[in-house]
Amino acid sequence: MLGFYVTGHPLARYQKELKSYSTVTTSKTATRRDGEEVVIGGLVSKLKFTQTKRTNERMAIVTIEDLEGTIDALVFPKTFKEHGSHLAKDAILFFKGQLDRKEQDAKLLVNEIVPIHEVHKKFTRSIHVRLLTLGLEDDKLKGLQDILSKYPGSVPVYLEFVEDNKIQSQMLVDRTLFVKPEESLVASLRQMLGEEAVSLKI
């Protein structure tokens, strides 16, 4: 059962990241197949460190809470060695792994953990920027170019030209404007073009 937050849910401000990078929510895991690889973003609402019985290696049992519910996750020793330093109560993290649906309640067998502030850089495969053709001026395109040029990298950026709420055409920017998808880049683009104008694809 989800807790109550006097000042609003801690995940509320990260709704866009959760929607962009989670491939399933906790409430929808029952619709996925056993063994399917998924990414779930959320808050560490419960955390228990333990050891394996045979080898006494450290591992963790985590309850992940998103905006729709919770799921228990197991972080086995190999993954714990690589990513265990990210684990903390109330930390907001993304967990990548396989669903275990052998029992009534699904579990996540984790093989990668990514902090919220690194998720843009780790999971983004392309960035899509929506531009309204009506009233589009050269100075806005120049501003967009200036922002992209500050974050040189290998991730492609697609411009989607929109008219009457429909994408009329799509253009891939020049390779010299491919980017490194930092959190500050996404924030700058959304500040200039609007929250809904920027989407991230994994």
Burial status of residue 18 (CB atoms within 10 A of its CB: 0-12, 13-18, 19 or more): buried
Q: What is the pTM of this model?
A: 0.78
> Percent of the chain having pLDDT more than 70?
96
Measuring CA to CA, which residue among 121, 102, 97 is closest to residue 22? 97
Q: What is the per-residue pLDDT across 143-172, written as a single tens digit (0 to 9) for each? A: 999 999 999 999 999 999 998 878 889 999
Each residue of 125-141: pLDDT tens digit?
A: 999 999 988 878 888 89
Query: pLDDT (tens digit, 9 = 90+) per residue, 33-87?
Result: 999 999 999 999 999 999 999 899 999 999 999 999 999 999 999 999 999 999 9
Does residue 2 register a pLDDT over 50?
no
Tell me the sheet residues that pair with 199: 128
* Cβ-proximal residues to 89 (8 Å cutoff; 6+ apart), any chain: 44, 45, 46, 47
Give bridge partners of residue 172 from the DSSP assignment. 158
pLDDT given for residue 56 in this prediction: 93
Report which of residues 12 and 1 the model is more confident about: 12
What is the average pLDDT score of the chain?
91
CATH 2.40.50.140 domain extents, the chain: 12-117
Which residue has 């399933």 as its token pair? Answer: 24
In this structure, which topology does domain 12-117 adopt according to CATH?
OB fold (Dihydrolipoamide Acetyltransferase, E2P) (2.40.50)
Torsion of CA 17, 20, 23, 25, to 10 degrees: 50
